[in-house]
Structure 1
Amino acid sequence: MTRALVLYAHPCDDSFAAALHTTVVETLSDRGWHVDDCDLYKEGFNPILTPAERHGYHDEPQNIEPVKDYVERLRKADALILCFPVWNFGYPAILKGFLDRVFLPGVSFKLVDGKVLPNLTHIRKLAAVSTYGGTRIRATLAGDPPRMCIKRAVWHVTRPTRMRYLALYDMNRASDAKRAGFIEKVRREMKDL
Structure 2
Amino acid sequence: MKVVIVFNHPYQRSFCNAILNSVTNGLKKVNHEVDLIHLDNDNFNPIMTAGDLKGFRDKKTIDPKVLEYSQRIKNADHLIFIFPIWWELMPALTKGFVDKVIFPGVAYDYTNRENTRMKPLWENLKGVTMITTMNTPNWLYWLLFGNAIKKAMVMGTFWKIGFKNRKWISFNQVKQVSKEKREKWLIGLEQKFEKLK
TM-score in same-fold range (> 0.5): yes
CA distance in 1, matches of 2:162, 2:117: 12
Matches within 5 A, 1:73-84: 73-84=72-83
TM-score by length of 2: 0.89
Identity of aligned pairs, percent?
25
CA distance in 1, matches of 2:189, 2:162: 21
Residues 15-61 of structure 1: CA deviation (Å, up to 9, x unaligned): 1110001111121122111111111101111111111111221213x
Deviates more, 1:119-128 or 1:132-141: 119-128
1:127 is the counterpart of 2:129: yes
1:147 pairs with one of 113, 126, 150: 150
SS in 1 for 2:104: coil
1:14 is the counterpart of 2:13: yes
SS in 2 for 1:118: strand
What residue ranges of structure 2 are gaps of 5+ in the alignment? none
Residues 88-141 of structure 1: CA deviation (Å, up to 9, x unaligned): 101111011001001100222212222131213421022111111110122112
Deviation beyond 6 Å, 4+ runs, structure 1: none
Residue 163 of structure 2 corresponds to which residue in structure 1?
A: 159
Matches within 5 A, 1:12-51: 12-51=11-50
CA distance in 1, matches of 2:138, 2:127: 25
**Pair 156,89 (structure 1): closer, same or farther in 2 beyond 3 Å:** same
Amino acid at match of 2:67: K
CA distance in 1, matches of 2:24, 2:3: 9
> How far off is 1:147 after superposition?
2.2
What RMSD, in angstroms, separates the aligned Cα atoms of the two structures?
Answer: 1.7
Amino acid at match of 1:9: N
> How far off is 1:70 after superposition?
1.2
What residue ranges of structure 1 are gaps of 5+ in the alignment? none
2:188 pairs with one of 172, 185, 188: 185
Amino acid at match of 2:33: H
SS in 1 for 2:12: coil
